[in-house]
């Protein structure tokens, strides 16, 4: 297998979406977030779908990642055994989390690391601020970390006058454009290259008409590298924290975590308590699964191990709970803590691929977000569990075998029990339940609906109560007979009979309308 094959994604395989002769399509913005009010995913998704170049690029790029993941999976005979083993390791660790956290803390402290504990996001931010204040630090560079996004870390630091610079290319693009990441692994994947060119032109003074990948990457590197060299503090997250030796492992493709950890004299790592794994030997299992599931590549470009401070430097670990221990005690939703943030469920989800990550209005989007976000704010994210087809693909690709689609369904039941859907939606669901539970009523309803669709004028079909009647989607043509009618007429396909000509069955057809 050639090196070029392995680096295909590093070369940004996404197509340039808009031909030169066409006007630039503005990038759709994310969901409109209003305090604690429920996020309207449907509204934001409709705006994303209404931008066809963005929607097509996003869908095709993420599906490409899914296919790359499948190719890697088929190349490893023991893939399912790896998934099963990783799931068991995570279950065991979470069942004994207190013991492993104590073991990790003792080992890290023996390595010369300062270990702190944060109950929630506010405490995390205050602890980091306090460490920086003790050292008179005013600037911080950081590599990509969803935990710090969850904690609102950058916004907090801006409020106390500390400059935070993202060093991951995608995160930096999103920071410059004042947007959160739209994807766990590829934060700016919803943007066309022309969008990035506009952002860099506005914030870095580059050529707005040059969207060539190497030019954009070089410009960002040239502008950011001096900030890295001058920073007082470097921050990373942690993909895995190993109880056995008190070390952390960080997986990146740009090497920016190594710069963040090794250039400034002070390294702070923010670590979710669920990132613990028992042994170094377990790490190999997760490393084999992580990048293959995320990007369809055999391994990340950099797998960095941080165990203790460099001579003359300092290292701090901030262990963050922020609702995790409460979730661990939840009989239904505890297994979401197994997540290793690979994003495989996002890449395979048809709703996520076509609606974009920012339409969820939350730190975590896609299928994993649908089960994580309501644990953080049940009212604000009450509509998100409905942003799924429940096709189960997310569960099938999860490297640690989280039953994602089943948990999404469980969240729907929770929301229904708390009367979160609108009154009209609840009434429709109740009526649908009555019809679906009675085969004769169901067949009569389907046949009646088909006949009505064939004769009703379009304006009578495109009403708010019709879920198909949304912008960008047309109500499909109703078939001339239902499956049961076909089965009865042909004896399940064993009799070759022609469907009566148009109008002969007395039902009327679409041709009749002409």
**Which residue range forms the structural domain that includes residue 487?**
423-492
CATH number at residue 289: 3.40.50.10420
- Alpha-helical (H) ranges within 263-310 are 280-295
SS3 95: helix
Shared-domain flag, residues 444 and 391: no
Shared-domain flag, residues 55 and 131: yes
Shared-domain flag, residues 352 and 457: no
Shared-domain flag, residues 163 and 294: yes
SS3 43: helix
The total number of structural domains in the chain stands at 3
Mean pLDDT of 439-446: 82
Which residues, in sequence order, are CB contacts of 474 under 8 Å at separation 6+?
468
Q: Is the pLDDT of residue 464 over 70?
A: no
Shared-domain flag, residues 323 and 355: no
| Residue 4: inside a domain | no
SS3 305: strand
- Rounded Cα distance between 209 and 205, Å, is 12
Q: Is the pLDDT of residue 421 over 90?
A: no
| Residue 20: inside a domain | no
Tell me how far apart the terminal alpha carbons of the chain are, to the nearest angstrom: 58
Shared-domain flag, residues 250 and 325: yes
pLDDT score at 40: 94
Locus of tokens 């960095």: 304
| Residue 272: inside a domain | yes
Shared-domain flag, residues 130 and 54: yes
Pairing of the two strands 314-320 and 114-118: parallel
Shared-domain flag, residues 226 and 319: yes
| Residue 16: inside a domain | no
Last residue within a domain, chosen from 370, 386, 418: 418
| Residue 160: inside a domain | yes
Shared-domain flag, residues 216 and 118: yes
Shared-domain flag, residues 51 and 167: yes
359-380: pLDDT as tens digits: 999 999 999 999 999 999 999 9
Other residues' Cβ atoms within 10 Å of the Cβ of residue 40 = 16
pTM, to two decimals: 0.82
327-368: pLDDT as tens digits: 999 999 999 999 999 999 999 999 999 999 999 999 999 999
Other residues' Cβ atoms within 10 Å of the Cβ of residue 122 = 13
- Rounded Cα distance between 362 and 356, Å, is 12
Shared-domain flag, residues 123 and 270: yes
Q: Percent of the chain, pLDDT > 90?
A: 74
Our CA angle for 87, 91, 97, nearest 5°, is 140
Q: Strand (E) positions, 274-381?
A: 276-277, 302-306, 314-320
Shared-domain flag, residues 149 and 222: yes
Per-residue burial over 63-83, b if 16 or more Cβ lie within 10 Å, else e, is ebbbebbeebbeeeeebeebb
| Residue 502: inside a domain | no
pLDDT score at 108: 98
Last residue within a domain, chosen from 418, 441, 461: 418
DSSP string for residues in 419-479: T-S-HHHHHHHHHHHHHHT-HHHHHHHHHHHHHHHHHS-HHHHSSTT-TT-STT-PPPPPP
| Residue 85: inside a domain | yes
222-250: pLDDT as tens digits: 999 999 999 999 999 999 999 999 999 99
- Across all residues in the chain, what is the average pLDDT? 88
pLDDT score at 356: 95
Which strand (E) or helix (H) includes residue 270? strand 266-272
SS3 483: helix
Residue 179 and residue 358 in contact, taking contact as beta carbons nearer than 8 Å: yes
| Residue 30: inside a domain | no
Last residue within a domain, chosen from 387, 418, 449: 418
For residue 445, the number of C-alpha atoms closer than 13 Å in the C-beta half-sphere is: 12
Which strand (E) or helix (H) includes residue 98? helix 97-110
């Amino acid at each position: 297998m050639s090196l070029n094959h392995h680096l295909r994604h590093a070369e940004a395989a996404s197509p340039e979406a808009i031909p030169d002769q066409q006007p630039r399509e503005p990038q759709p913005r994310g969901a409109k977030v209003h305090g604690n009010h429920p996020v309207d995913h449907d509204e934001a998704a409709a705006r994303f779908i209404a931008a066809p170049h963005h929607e097509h690029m996003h869908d095709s790029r993420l599906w490409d990642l899914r296919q790359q993941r499948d190719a890697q999976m088929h190349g490893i005979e023991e893939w399912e055994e790896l998934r099963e083993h990783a799931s068991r390791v995570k279950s065991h660790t979470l069942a004994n989390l207190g013991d492993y956290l104590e073991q990790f803390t003792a080992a890290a402290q023996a390595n010369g690391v300062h270990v702190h504990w944060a109950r929630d996001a506010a405490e995390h931010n205050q602890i980091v601020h306090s460490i920086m204040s003790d050292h008179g630090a005013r600037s911080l560079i950081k590599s990509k970390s969803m935990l710090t996004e969850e904690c609102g870390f950058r916004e907090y630091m801006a409020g106390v006058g500390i400059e935070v610079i993202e060093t991951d290319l995608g995160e930096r693009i999103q920071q410059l454009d004042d947007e959160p990441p739209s994807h766990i692994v590829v934060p700016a994947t919803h943007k066309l290259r022309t969008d990035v060119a506009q952002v860099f032109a506005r914030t870095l003074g580059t050529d707005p008409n040059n969207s060539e990948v190497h030019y954009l990457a070089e410009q960002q590197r040239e502008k950011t590298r001096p900030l890295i060299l001058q920073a007082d503090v470097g921050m990373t997250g942690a993909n895995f924290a190993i109880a056995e030796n008190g070390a952390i492992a960080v997986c990146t493709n740009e090497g920016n975590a190594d710069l963040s950890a090794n250039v400034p004299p002070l390294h702070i790592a923010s670590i979710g308590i669920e990132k613990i794994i028992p042994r170094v030997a377990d790490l190999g299992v997760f490393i084999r699964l992580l990048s293959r599931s995320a990007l369809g590549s055999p391994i990340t470009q950099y797998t960095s191990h941080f165990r203790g401070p460099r001579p003359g430097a300092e290292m701090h670990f901030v262990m963050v709970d922020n609702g995790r221990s409460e979730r661990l005690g939840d009989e239904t939703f505890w297994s979401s803590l197994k997540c290793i943030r690979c994003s495989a469920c996002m890449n395979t989800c048809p709703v996520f691929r076509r609606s974009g990550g920012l339409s969820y209005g939350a730190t975590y989007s896609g299928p994993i977000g649908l089960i994580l976000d309501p644990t953080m704010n049940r009212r604000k994210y009450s509509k998100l569990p409905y942003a799924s087809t429940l096709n189960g693909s997310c569960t099938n690709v999860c490297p640690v075998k989280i039953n994602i689609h089943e948990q999404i369904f469980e969240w729907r039941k929770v929301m229904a029990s708390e009367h979160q859907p609108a009154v009209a939606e609840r009434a429709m669901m109740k009526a649908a339940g009555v019809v679906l539970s009675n085969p004769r009523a169901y067949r009569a309803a389907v046949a009646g609906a088909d006949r009505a669709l064939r004769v009703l004028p379009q304006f009578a079909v495109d009403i708010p109560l019709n879920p198909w009647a949304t912008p960008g989607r047309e109500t499909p043509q109703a078939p001339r007979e239902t499956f049961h009618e076909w089965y009865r007429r042909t004896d399940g396909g064993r009799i070759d009979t022609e469907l009566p000509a148009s109008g002969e069955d007395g039902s009327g057809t679409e041709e009749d309308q002409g």
